[in-house]
Amino acid sequence: MSVSFGASGQQNLFEKGEKMKKLILGVIVALAATSVSAVESVIFVHGRSSTNHCGTTTTDNGNYWGNAKNISTTLTKYFVGYDGSTDPRTFGSCRAQTSLFTVLEARCKGTNSCVVICHSAGCYATEHFIDKSTTVYNIKRVLASSSAAGGSDLANAAFWPSDGMVTALKTGNARGSYNHNNMRGIGIYAIAGYKGTFGASAILPGEDDGAVSFHSTCGINTTGSYSNCLSGTRYSYHYIWNVVANNSWNSSKNGYYRTHVGDGSSSINDATKNEFTDCKNGGYAGCK
């Protein structure tokens, strides 16, 4: 039995075939365009500072990061600038939450993605933004250097002159103002500082870097005295590195976490640069 479509039937089949070809070609072009336009960036978020760092550009306004920004990467670096004496949880002119929104909207949505490198209260601002935002941004990971997301006991003790930032950094405020477990699946990786300074370290419980204790910088879900990052229970999606790649991974404090000495730019620089490079090239858990 044979079936004849006739001239009109053949024409219809031909037209459908052409439409399908155009549809497939359109999809291929769209995918190719997506691949070409996808951009990854590195976002730096600074911490407490007496200097006004307003601006969300490719320039480290006020040179807060010093040499720490010189990570080995061809990716474009953006700097979240804000008044470092203000409450990092607030929106407004030269405020942390507004600057974060501006940069993440432009660089970490759609086909674009980013890696966030934060320091001290900058990690507090970043985590607060992630929890409170209704948008889930394409943040691959957060490298948290001396994170103050759990607050600082120095703020509790009025060790620093009072301002919006210091009030926010009181441990009760830092831990109670947002859900630290709601990181939207984004990994927060601790770069913990140790060997604090005389005076401040007498106030800070456990191991510290002179500004924050391990209970804060290691993402531990309660305040207390901790001598290493393996102690206590961490908030969800807060990690310590579990691979010893070289001797800079393991300090004398028993934890497999990248460490830097003190809270100065040069030591943060060493830890952050090594962390970023190893994470990009090592291919171990948490790194993409």
3-state secondary structure at position 205: coil
Mean pLDDT by 10 residues, the chain (288 residues): 50 54 50 63 91 87 80 88 96 96 96 93 97 96 90 96 97 98 92 74 87 91 88 88 42 40 51 60 45
pLDDT for res 165: 97
pLDDT for res 205: 94
Alpha carbons 256 and 244: distance in angstroms, whole number: 7
Residue 12, C-beta contacts closer than 8 angstroms, at least 6 positions apart? none
Number of helices followed by number of strands (H, E) in the chain:
9, 8
Q: What is the DSSP letter of 194?
A: E
Distance of CA 46 to the CA centre of its chain: 11
Cβ atoms of residues 68 and 45 within 8 Å: no
Beta bridge partners of 192: 259
Residue 80, C-beta contacts closer than 8 angstroms, at least 6 positions apart? 43, 44, 45, 46, 56, 96, 99, 100, 103, 122, 125
Dihedral-angle region of residue 254 (phi above 0 means left; psi in -120 to 50 means alpha; beta otherwise) = left
Q: What are the sequence ranges of the domains in the chain?
A: 39-282
pLDDT for res 13: 46
> What pTM was estimated for this model as a whole?
0.79
CATH for 39-282 (3.30.750.80, 2.40.30.10, 3.30.365.10, 3.40.50.1820)? 3.40.50.1820
pLDDT for res 246: 38
